[in-house]
Homo-oligomer: A and B are copies of this chain.
Amino acid sequence: MVPAPSPSDPHPLIRKLESIAVLTDDERQALLDLPMQVTAIKEDQDIVREGDRPSRSFAILSGFTCTYKITGDGKRQIVAFGIPGDMPDIQSLHLKVLDIGVATLTPCNVGFIQHEDLWDLCMRHPRLGAIFWRETLVESASFREWILNVGRREAYPRMAHVLCELLVRLRAVGLAEDHSCDLPITQVEFADALGITTVHANRVLQQMRADRLIKTKGSRLNIPDWEQLKAAGDFDPTYLHLRPDEVVT
């Protein structure tokens, strides 16, 4: 008996895939049947490291991760944040050597899926294979926007932009209300994501609070004026390629 599809589907992976594509009951069931090794991982741990040759990928079931690279002299650049439903290293299905590391920002539950099982799924459900491909392409589009952000926007709009992206993505998987969400990301991590210093990240955030673009209380982020933040960050969610009804502009 297949459970009725629900907007608040408890399985993060399905919730995420449904935010970018439509699934049939059959496909949803096939995903639920995927052999998945669920593992709890503590905060600030590497799940995978650059140079690894994994035989499995993983889906984030709960918690936040960051995908990062390190320069020869040890400077870290975060290239993406991972939220529940994401599969940050799904690329290892095709590319044997990992060119990135993925670390937890919070305690996480992740579900490991053997590559052979993923291949199997893609073969038996070509449409799901296409959806996974599509997902990697959406990720790729996010990288392009990230390049634009880091390369051509100053620190202040750059920060505004990532905050916008995070809120929209969290909303798409049901982890944010209209104008607030839990964002357990430290200033060091924001700095590494934006390609700036921690000190500067701090100053930019202070300025944004003074400008009443954001309010923070602990790890809680509140956005009093979404339109203004969007404008400040030059943010247009098109590049996230969400299903139209998932985009709350």
Contacts and interface: CB of A to CB of B under 8 A. Distances in A.
* Stoichiometry, copies per complex: 2
B144 A69 contact: yes
Contacts of A216: none
A133 B94 contact: yes
Interface residues of A, number: 42
A103 to B, nearest CB: 15
A147 B146 contact: yes
Nearest to A119: B130
A138 interface: yes
A185 to B, nearest CB: 16
Given A137-B95, A138-B95, A239-B99, A79 B144 contact: yes
A97 B241 contact: yes
Nearest to A158: B151
Contact of A140 (B69, B75, B77, B91): B91
B72 A234 contact: yes
Given A73-B234, A144-B69, A152-B75, A133 B136 contact: yes
Interface string A141-167: 101111110111100000000000000
A100 B238 contact: no
A140 B138 contact: no
B144 A95 contact: no
Given A95-B241, A133-B94, A195 B140 contact: no
Interface in A110-141: 123, 126, 130, 133-134, 136-141
Given A133-B136, A137-B136, A152 B91 contact: no
B144 A144 contact: no
A215 interface: no
A71 interface: yes
